[in-house]
Amino acid sequence: MTDIDALIQAIPLPALLIGRDLRILAANADAAAVLGAPSIGGHVAMTLRQPDVLDAIEACRRTGAPSQARHRGDDAGQDANYDVSCTPLDGGVLVCLSDISRAMQTDRMRREFVANVSHELRTPLTALTGFIETLRGPARGDVAASDRFLAIMQDEAARMERLVQDLLSLSRVEGQERQRPKKSVDLGAIAGAVVSALGAVAEAAEVTLSSDLPDAPLYIPGDPDQLRQLCTNLIENAVKYGGQGGRVEVSVTPEAHHPALRGPAAILSVRDNGAGIDPIHIPRLTERFYRIDSHRSRQMGGTGLGLAIVKHIVSRHRGRLAIHSALGEGSEFRVALPMADAP
């Protein structure tokens, strides 16, 4: 191996060295993985076919100044994008590719998220603006209409507040995802407290809420506020989607050995006998703003973020979330949380 070959192989990016006659002098294994095996001694256009990339290489060789281009590849059916940097070297050009697909995907997700949030906020905001105009115009002095409109406005403002609260929770949980919770908390006591707190909500929805909790404390390493929120989101959903006349059962049980967690776990199960969920939706339910029926979710005061928050809380606790459901058969949301820190 010549020095130049050894140097190219040592570059931790796909890299090729192009001579002043635009023939490939050397290429490393990463370049071969991205571009297919380049033919050493062959013209660079046989390996890098994209006109922008070839123009950048040619410009760098001609002017002796660095240049950049974007290479669009196809990596196992997925779009792969690379920044190509051309650096003049000894009359030729050193070409390095850096994979920016992940950064582009993150960027797209961020844009989609902002678009979704704006859309969610715009709906109540439009309603509020409309009612304010009506109250200042046609309904001025009409006490009955004012009362009715103010009640709707209060609901819309509450919806905006819930959305902002859920967004803040989501961002907090995401920010802490890598910090494992340290406190030792009794999952049974937390679930019991949430069941009691939601008793009135269940009663108002005409849903029977019952629980089966262990007599002895069931300690797990956890974040008490987040576990309270997890229980609240799952039980509220079961009450909301379980429907009038429904039954919601909450249980906490220890499991000596959970196969996926490879150790003892505490299992929280929230089961309803509502309409159930078509299996095609199940894998996407924990995505932000994913709803099966947006209209129904909004009518129930949902923000579309509840299960996304649950997913992040479970993940911070290194647990597992399983959703079992079939249409017409109700749903069970089962969370397994490790009872001890992994070694």
Query: Which positions touch ligand ADP (CB under 6 A)?
Result: 233, 237-238, 241, 272, 274, 277, 285, 290-293, 297, 302-308, 331
For ligand ADP, give the closer residue by CB, 218 or 321. 321
Closest approach, Cβ 169 to ligand ADP, in A, equals 12
For residue 31, give every residue at least 6 positions away whose Cβ sits within 8 Å of its Cβ, in sequence order, or none.
Answer: 14, 15, 16, 38, 97
Please report where in the chains the tokens 């079939």 appear, as a residue: 326
Q: Compute the least distance from the CB of residue 297 to ligand ADP, in Å.
A: 3
Residue nearer to ligand ADP on the CB measure, 60 or 202: 202
Straight-line distance from the first to the last Cα atom of the chain, in angstroms, rounded to the nearest whole number: 44
Taking the complex as a whole, how short is the minimal distance between the CB of residue 276 and ligand ADP, in angstroms? 7
Compute the least distance from the CB of residue 121 to ligand ADP, in Å.
15
Instruction: Tell the residue number behind the tokens 């909450």, with chain if given.
Output: 250
Which lies closer to ligand ADP via its Cβ, residue 39 or residue 299? 299
Nearest approach, Cβ of residue 162 and ligand ADP (Å): 9
Residues with Cβ within 8 Å of residue 252, at least 6 apart in sequence: 187, 188, 191, 212, 213, 214, 218, 266, 267, 268, 269
**Could you tell me the smallest distance in angstroms from the CB atom of residue 236 to ligand ADP?**
8
Whichever of 219 and 290 has its CB closer to ligand ADP, that residue is: 290
CB of 154 to ligand ADP, least distance (A): 19
d(CA 311, CA 174): 10
- Taking the complex as a whole, the smallest distance from the CB of residue 326 to ligand ADP amounts, in Å, to 11
Computed over its alpha carbons, how large is the radius of gyration of the chain? 29
Which CB sits closer to ligand ADP, 6 or 326? 326
Of residues 47 and 331, the one with the C-beta less far from ligand ADP: 331
Considering the complex, state which of residue 81 and residue 303 has its C-beta at the smaller distance from ligand ADP: 303
Please say which residue, 195 or 308, places its beta carbon nearer to ligand ADP. Answer: 308
Among 212, 224, 218, which Cα is nearest to 256's?
A: 218
In angstroms, the CA 124 to CA 135 distance is 16
Cα 177 off chain centre by? 12
CB of residue 323 vs ligand ADP: minimum separation in angstroms? 8
Q: Which is closer to ligand ADP, CB of 218 or CB of 275?
A: 275
